[in-house]
Structure 1
Amino acid sequence: MPNTEWLCQPTATPNEAARAAAIARQNELTKPPGSLGRLETVATDFAAWQGVEKPALDTITLAVFAGDHGVVTRGVSAFPQSVTAQMIANFAAGGAAVAVLAREARAAMTVVNLGTVTPTDDIPGVINHQLAPGTADFTADAAMPLDTLADALAVGAAAIDPGASLFVGGEMGIGNTTSAAAVLAALIGLDGAATVGRGTGVDDAGLAAKRAAVDAGLARHAARWAGLDAPDAALAVLACVGGLEIAALTGAYVAAPQAGVPVLIDGFISSVAALAAVRINPGVADWLVFGHRSAETGHARALAALGAEPILDLGMRLGEGSGAMTAVPVIRAALAVHAKMATFAEAGVGA
């Protein structure tokens, strides 16, 4: 595959001395050891990622990647493809849920269109690549050529600011829960019934159509990744049944740890992209924190495959990066109490 050698370059190594110093500080704070639960491990993880005893969230970057999906022709969505471009405009105008949450979280948000049926060149504030007018219907053909996959991965990598304290990826694309379910099913050896959920809220007929589409895609393309090693198999899966925005997320999730930037993962689609990234480059796993547990059917399976325990469980299933943005205040709280609580010695409290 062209232009993908960078994916296998090593990730940065978390600073274990800084983690140990942060753990030692946690043990000196005026509280019983472990009493702040996940807040403590979040703080010590960020210490290792930033290489300091008292980490901080100075700069958060959010990239929302968008693209259309040819599998929509199989009746897998409650909405037409035109909604993708309409929502891109909504993101850029600041009206989408993730845009509101990003402002509240003090995150710098960009909107990146990888390829939609309806062009978005005239929408201010959108970074347009238009690699293709969406993917092909993966029940009939590969979702994208290998060259296009390589380009989408590179677009994701280009979204990483190496100076950021945290990167968050979001996504938009009518039909993308079907594509993500197909990618997940291929990566962990399941079928449509085990990985497909209602996504945008399809009825029973739509749910059946989604499951059938995933199974048809797997049947058509499974030979393409059978017998390949994990990185090559993941790339083949993305090309055959993935989405442009899912590929961009995957590229971003590899590039951020290579630059020493931790990644906050959103819901189902983002977690599937994270699983693909880990299969391509196992070092990625050391740089991920998971924002929330989605209500979408396949998310629990994706999280289990990643060995992940999310920060929040609010029954959300919107995507866009919204669940991840909702978790940012919890991360800020974790870092604040870690840095600002008094130690037993400072407070004159007997340890």
Structure 2
Amino acid sequence: MFGMRALGCGLRWWFNSIHMNAQKIPLSLFDYHLPLSLIAQSPQEPRDYSRLMILDRETGVRQHKHFFDIQDELKAGDVLVINQTKVFRARLHAQTKEGVIVEIFLLRDFVTHWQTLIRPGKKVKEGDHLFFGESQIKASVLHKHTDGIVDVCFDCSSTEVLAYANQFGEVPVPPYIHAQPDPDRYQTVYADKTGSVAAPTAGFHFTSELLEAISKKGVEIVPITLHVGIGTFRPIHTEFIEDHVMHAEWVEVNPSATQIIMKAKQEGRRVIAVGTTSLRTLEGVAKMFDGTLPTEGFSGDINLYICPGFKFQIVDVLLTNFHLPKSSLLVLVSAFAGRGHILAAYREAIDQGYRFFSFGDAMLITKTDSDH
């Protein structure tokens, strides 16, 4: 009898497991083939000469323009939200007491310690000391997490660590970019608040002159901050997209920004997010405050992961680049515009020779009822 009950419980668990997984979305549905020749290795010059695909997320209709044409897609009363974070030279090299050279990727400053990635990680253990070139800076390994994150404590202030990094560190470009770029070109023209280990690349296409022209048209340009960390670029390794977990990233939306954005929402004007980081900031804060942005502003951590089924509360239009297969960013834009529309747009972009990823071309995802 006991054996039959156990068998029954086992079968119920098995059927429930199948049913639960049947409701989930396989990561494999967010894959596509990209010729390596279309991965942009350097930025477009001038910035606003990148190509721009305009995608209607309601109909799937696509148009092909250049980025400088974006001012024709904007209108007086629109609110353009930009992420003003600034990338620092977060990739350093250090030496262990035994003379082993390791690469240290600074991720985030927690005041008492830094969150890092160390390669090769197996060459260091908790309690090891790390020495940085001819400088007097030293660090000790506090804790190695199971997800590869390593907590490191420096023997100096965060200000001194950043000063050393900005003098001797390298720009932490993605692995698909094979050469170190000009550090100024791995920043937006409006980068202001240091703290990111990767750039909010949708903003690369704006020039100061283009932003001025957009502003003169009556578009309100509103800065917010999300310091891009490992959460943005860490790949999805789970079989189903819902099982992926985002790392937290620090954001700030000041009171002026929240009031401008919420006034636009109340008046039926469009809120346009420049990049997935701006979108996740606005939607992440809104999710914490019942679909609105608090008048007093917000600063703190968010770890919002957006996948199909998410209800967008704030953002009407998204400006973004073309993202890696099976990435959380591709999942996000699929949630915003529909997976079918996105993958069809990507296929057409490939056919037309668009440039992909960080230094690549742009896509403006809009919808008919929010247009002119």
Classify the TM-score, shorter chain: 0.3 to 0.5
More strand by share: 2
More helix by share: 1
TM-score (norm 1): 0.33
Q: State the structure with more CA Rg.
A: 2
